[in-house]
Amino acid sequence: MKIGVSLPVREMAGDLTAIRDFAQTAEGLGLTHLRVPDQIMRPGSGELHEPMMMLAYIAAVTSKIELVPSVIILPVRQTVHFAKQAAELDGLTGGRVRIGIGVGGSEDEYRYLGEDFKTRGRRCTEQMHVMKQLWTQEEVTFKGEFHDISGAGLNPLPVQKPIPMWIGARPVPSAPVVKRIATHSDGWFVLCAPEEISEVRDSIYTEADKIGRSPDEFGQEAGVAVVGPREAEWKDRVSNWKHMGLTHLCLRTLGGGLSVNEHIPKLEQTINELPDDVG
């Protein structure tokens, strides 16, 4: 199981030195990936950096750790432009990018950005299909409900062809989301309770089997908070997810009221205390 960490960008606010130090510490501790959240504009949402720009900064001060914006609210973004950003970031990092994708739940955010909230699911599905073509073909011709491309492509293409796309959805995904995961994704972020994961897995794998995809093609990542109300449980939760066969885990030092300077010591302590069957 690959173990990464969520970058506590909200709690570090504009302290770029602290953000750099946290990313470099995570890499130095051997963590495999760094997740950064996405939000463009909502009332009273607090300080949150644009994830692709933030990861470009982090790319310049790291060399090995995988960079994971998770999850990008894809339907509020122009598809070709975002595909270009992702391809560029993948090139700058030598192929260290994994894109988390979701549709979001804020009608206000869609309204502010001039996009249709009601069609976000269909748009996201088509976007993922188009982006996979844009990342693998020098020339793309595609005509769908939301996109019309004729013999054009991205240059340069990304290092990874295609860049991995993982889907984040509500705890028990709806049928259209299950189909989107089964058809277009390389994995999903597990938001359900441990006792629900078998049902979610089965629904995804059943749908994937219809198009000839194997369960081995899908990764699964859950998050575990190491601070806050469930701090005392974190070791058991890590072991439980490991035993359930997850491929990835994301530790979180955020949400427990730590000061900017307390995140790195907490992360170091956590890595030192990982259960023997995990670390």
- For residues 256 and 220, what is the distance between their CA atoms, to the nearest angstrom? 25
Position 216 pLDDT exceeds 80? yes
**Residue type for position 16:** L
Question: Nearest to residue 3, comparing CAs of 231, 223, 258?
Answer: 223
Residue 196's pLDDT band, with cuts at 50, 70 and 90, is very high
- Residue-level pLDDT at 278: 82
Residue 276's pLDDT band, with cuts at 50, 70 and 90, is confident
- Residue-level pLDDT at 169: 80
- Residue-level pLDDT at 171: 87
Position 221 pLDDT exceeds 80? yes
- Residue-level pLDDT at 277: 81
- For residues 7 and 26, what is the distance between their CA atoms, to the nearest angstrom? 9
Superfamily classification of domain 71-216: Luciferase-like domain (3.20.20.30)
- For residues 191 and 18, what is the distance between their CA atoms, to the nearest angstrom? 28
Position 172 pLDDT exceeds 90? no
Tokens describing residue 19 = 């953000």
Any idea where the domains of the chain sit in the sequence? 71-216
Question: Nearest to residue 20, comparing CAs of 55, 64, 48?
Answer: 55
- Residue-level pLDDT at 279: 60
DSSP string, 58-117: HHHH-SSSEEEETTEEGGGS-HHHHHHHHHHHHHHHTS-B-EEEE--S-HHHHHHTT--S
Position 42 pLDDT exceeds 80? no
Position 273 pLDDT exceeds 80? yes
Range with lowest mean pLDDT among 7-11, 42-46, 220-224, 238-242 = 42-46
Whole-prediction pTM: 0.95
Residue 52's pLDDT band, with cuts at 50, 70 and 90, is very high
Residue 76's pLDDT band, with cuts at 50, 70 and 90, is very high
Position 130 pLDDT exceeds 70? yes
Would you give the DSSP letter of residue 158? P
Position 85 pLDDT exceeds 80? yes
Angle between helical axes of 79-93 and 51-61 (0-180°, round to 10)? 10
Task: Tell me the average pLDDT across 96-123.
Answer: 96
Proportion of the chain above pLDDT 70, given as a percent: 99
| Cα dihedral 114, 119, 120, 126 sign | negative
